[in-house]
Structure 1
Amino acid sequence: MSPQAPVFDITGRADLDVVLRRFYTAAFADPRIGPFFTEIAGTDLDVHLPRITDFWERALFRSADYRRNAFAPHAALQSAREMTAEDFGRWVQLWRATIDGLHRGPNAERAKAQGERIALTLHKRLAGADPELLRGEGTVGFVPLAALELRSMTV
């Protein structure tokens, strides 16, 4: 068996590009959320990737100029087909698994936490839900991401 390559933290745009390519490859192929990208939005990864890399570079390092409305495309998707709490939960599962498979360190942890916050915020805005109801006992829908089954999922 060959030794595993060392895993480093996310350090900049080049690392984000690899993370995002791997994530979107998994997301496009996912039976639950893939259709949002492939059938409904018709996402062209070559067009989308530089924009989303700008978004994440700004979110993590404040080093990119991202001035787009990140909510608008999600609102358009929601109007075409409802994005459920389970859909957002699956997005986060894939996001976390992708990062965990490539990177370890404070920036990787921040990217995972930021992904969770973004998913919860988008879901709240799109569903018009009270944020406390989404995290409350006995609720159906968005599962708090500290749940073991979400953290143990792999891509």
Structure 2
Amino acid sequence: MDPVHFAARDRADITGRADLDALLRRFYTAAFADPQIGPFFTEIAGTRLDIHMPRITDFWERALFRSAEYQRNAFAPHAALHSVEPMTAEHFGRWVQLWHATIDGLHAGPNAERAKAQGERIAVAMLKRLSGGRLDTSGDGTGFIPLAAVELRAAA
């Protein structure tokens, strides 16, 4: 068996809030330290992980399992950040790359795949709203697809 399939077999799927909490802590540790997107969290937003974690875990628990009460506006903080420092397709692509890598490092299965796909959809939707409905359609005219996600899939 090739190493990719062997490794995937050894990783459990995301099954609930405890898995999401561990996944999100690892993801945000990487995101905060990332030179490309980290400053959005640390310098611009001044995000405190201890305050952010319950909210974002509620968000992902609702997104994946429809089992949490997330009643906040997820777009508003991103719009506020964007007004201070514009977020580009490259920023969202890096977010997706880190999201995929974090999930792939911990989990494999249908929920893990759904979390990656949902992350891509969220990135595209956020970028589209932040850019006033206009996506960069340079190239083949299909709109924004996070390049980092495509490269990550090609490497797998």
Q: TM-score normalized by structure 2?
A: 0.86
Cα shift at 1:137: 1.0
C-alpha distance in structure 1 between counterparts of 2:60 and 2:81, whole Å: 20
Q: Aligned to 2:108, what secondary structure does the other structure show?
A: coil
Q: 1:63: which partner in 2?
A: 67
1:103 paired to 2:103: no
Q: 2:49: which partner in 1?
A: 45
Residue pair 2:79, 2:130 contacting (<8 A) in 1 also: yes
Aligned partner of 1:137 among 136, 140, 147:
140
Deviating above 6 A after TM superposition, structure 1's stretches of 4 or more consecutive aligned residues are 138-141
Q: Which runs of 5+ in 1 are unaligned?
A: none
The root-mean-square deviation of aligned C-alpha atoms, in Å, is: 2.6
More deviation, 68-77/135-144: 135-144
Q: 1:88: which partner in 2?
A: 92
Cα shift at 1:106: 0.3
The alignment of Structure 1 onto Structure 2 pairs a total of residues equal to 150
Residue pair 1:75, 1:126 contacting (<8 A) in 2 also: yes
Cα shift at 1:142: 5.0
Residue pair 2:13, 2:108 contacting (<8 A) in 1 also: yes
Q: TM-score normalized by structure 1?
A: 0.87
1:74 paired to 2:39: no
Q: Which runs of 5+ in 2 are unaligned?
A: 1-6
Q: Percent identity?
A: 72
Aligned partner of 2:153 among 144, 151, 154:
151
Q: Deviations over 1:25-81 (max 9, x none)?
A: 000000000000000000000000000000000000000000000000000000010
User: What code does the residue aligned with 1:70 have?
Assistant: A
